[in-house]
Amino acid sequence: MRHVRVPRWCVAAFAIVLICLYGCSNREESNYVSEQVGKVVVDRPRAWTSEIPVERPWSKGYRRAPESVEQIQVSGDFGEFSTASQAMGTLIGQAQVGLQKFQVVQSRDVTIKGATTGRATRYTITDNAGSQLSGEWFVAAHWPYPQSVAVSILTPQFDPDLERRILESMELRPVLK
């Protein structure tokens, strides 16, 4: 059997590449923390630690800082909806009445762990100072035992990395009767 001699610099270079890859993935992981609220589990930015008061159907909310625009709200029991589209319809209907210059940018079906249907809707609104803000709702529903959960984010502009992280981490843990 013939032995192949690998130069030390190749081994060192390979080790450096592995360390860099591990460091990059860990850095992203450390920027998020997992939250379980009722029947939903989702990652939120670790820096968003200022709790904010929320109203039903929302159960918990966080901001980057007490007065910042960036926020996430989570509903661990959004209601007994049989589809995510049905649940999303209630959010859109309320927003059309209650949010200044509300405009849907995109609405699409998504896959969410534990859900039979999922939906994401991006929108824009105008704040009290006249600035445009970007928001997104993520809704998951389970059938035949109708139940749903939701996550809402608001940022100064659309953040595709935050959207991706929420969709990858969000899980509905339905109560099966």
Q: How far, in Å, CA of 37 to CA of 39, rounded? A: 6
Say if CB 116 and CB 141 are below 8 A apart. yes
What average pLDDT does range 55-84 have in this prediction?
Answer: 96
Say if CB 42 and CB 171 are below 8 A apart. yes
What average pLDDT does range 107-135 have in this prediction?
Answer: 96
**Is the pLDDT higher at 10 or at 165?**
165
Express as a percent the part of the chain with pLDDT over 70.
84
Residue 102 has a pLDDT of 97
**Residues in a beta bridge with 63:** 50, 71
| pLDDT tens, residue by residue, 130-157 | 999 999 999 999 999 999 999 999 999 9
Question: Does residue 27 belong to any structural domain of this protein?
Answer: no
Question: Does residue 28 belong to any structural domain of this protein?
Answer: no
| pLDDT tens, residue by residue, 34-61 | 999 999 999 999 999 999 999 999 999 9
Structural domain that includes position 165: 34-172
Question: Does residue 146 belong to any structural domain of this protein?
Answer: yes
Question: Does residue 25 belong to any structural domain of this protein?
Answer: no
Question: Does residue 66 belong to any structural domain of this protein?
Answer: yes
Residue 74 has pLDDT above 80, yes or no: yes
DSSP 49: -
CATH number of residue 93's parent domain: 3.40.1000.10
Residue 80 has pLDDT above 60, yes or no: yes
Say if CB 76 and CB 38 are below 8 A apart. yes
Residue 177 has a pLDDT of 76
Say if CB 125 and CB 101 are below 8 A apart. yes
Question: Does residue 102 belong to any structural domain of this protein?
Answer: yes
Question: Does residue 68 belong to any structural domain of this protein?
Answer: yes
In the chain, how many domains are there? 1
pLDDT mean across residues, the chain: 89
Question: Does residue 49 belong to any structural domain of this protein?
Answer: yes
